[in-house]
Every structure is written in C-alpha cells, then in structure tokens.
Amino acid sequence: MDEAGRGPLAGPVVAAACILGAHVPAGLNDSKKLSHTRRAKLDESLRRSSRFAIAVVEAAEIDRVNIFQATMLAMTRCVADLCQQLSTHPQIVLIDGNQTPQGRCADWQWPARAIVGGDGIEPAISAASILAKEYRDRLMIEAAKNHPHYGWERNKGYGTPQHMEALRMHGPTDLHRRSFAPVAQASLI
C-alpha cells in the first residue's frame, strides 16, 4: 500500500492497495522516480494484471481531520475495499513509510508493517505507489478543466509559483485545502 498527494495545496489524498498477479511488470519503482510515460505504461499493465483498490479523501475531509488522519483513513478504506473484493483478509499489509493506520484509525483491523522507502524496495508497494499517483494525477488534470488558472494539469495541486500566484489573484477553490497555511493565508488577502 502507498499514498499520493499528502503535500499539495489542492486536491485529494489518494491511497492504493495492490496485490500483484502472476505477471509482475518489469521496472516497478517508486512512482516519483519514474517518468510520466513509464509510470502510465506500468499503471495500465498493473490494472490488467493485479488486484487493487483505490480510496480518495477529498480536501474538505482533509481540512476536517488533518492530512495525517486523512491519509490513514484513505489507507483503511482501500484495504477494506480490496478485502471485500477478494472476500478475504491479508496476512500482512506492507505500507510505505514509517507509520501504519494500526492504532491510528478506528476501522483498521489488519496486521501491518511500515517500510521506510518501501516504494523503491517492495514491488507491491511500488505498484501501489504507481496506481495511487496515476489516479490522483488524472483527477487533478480533470479538475484543471474547471479551474484553469491554477495549472493543476502541470503541478497537480502542488504549491508552484504559478499556483501561488493564482491563489493570490483568484483565491482558493472548493478543491483547495483551506487548513494548509498558503491557502489559509490566501483566503485572508
């Protein structure tokens, strides 16, 4: 399992859980270390060859519970979804990072192990990293059509100079995380 979108000023946080199939695509790695083209090809291959679930926690919920809790919630939701799809429970959930939802999210009920740098070490975590990033990127590219000033088709909601300038000029949208300092400050201008 891995997530995408903890740091952006806009858009959701997305988690993906993945069980690799018999055919494991070559070249799996941390999604941030792959070119967009390579990541898109791997995403397509993973969607065909593996079992996975994706969960989204929107900006308003991030603002209500904070980004850490929203990430734990997204992870919990996607593992629950995958378990429901498969009608079984995992022996262990491997998670990129240094913390798991265990003891941090009331609905989490599976054994879990955090692996720092796991998205570059463990193929199933790499796969989840790719699935989460590609899904979130598609959401932000679609959102950019309704909010063209912010450059989300390029920056995916991160605080680039163009995005910051658009925040100053146009203010935040309903997709902005109002609890994040740059967005909160733009709301005061």
Q: Which of 50, 23, 187 is nearest to 130 (CA)?
A: 50
96's tokens: 């990129």
- Structure confidence by residue, pLDDT tens digits, 59-111: 999 999 999 999 999 999 999 999 999 999 999 999 999 999 999 999 999 99
pLDDT greater than 60 at residue 2: yes
Predicted confidence at residue 186, as pLDDT, reads 81
The mean pLDDT value for 37-54 works out to 97
Write the class of the CATH domain 2-146: alpha beta
- Structure confidence by residue, pLDDT tens digits, 113-149: 999 999 999 999 999 999 999 999 999 999 999 999 9
Question: How crowded is residue 160: how many other Cβ atoms within 10 Å of its Cβ?
Answer: 16
| Helix, strand, coil fractions of the chain, as percent rounded to 5 | 50, 15, 35
Q: Whole-model pTM?
A: 0.95
**Residues with Cβ within 8 Å of residue 99, at least 6 apart in sequence:** 114
- Structure confidence by residue, pLDDT tens digits, 16-43: 999 999 999 999 999 999 999 999 999 9
**Residues with Cβ within 8 Å of residue 66, at least 6 apart in sequence:** 179
Predicted confidence at residue 188, as pLDDT, reads 65
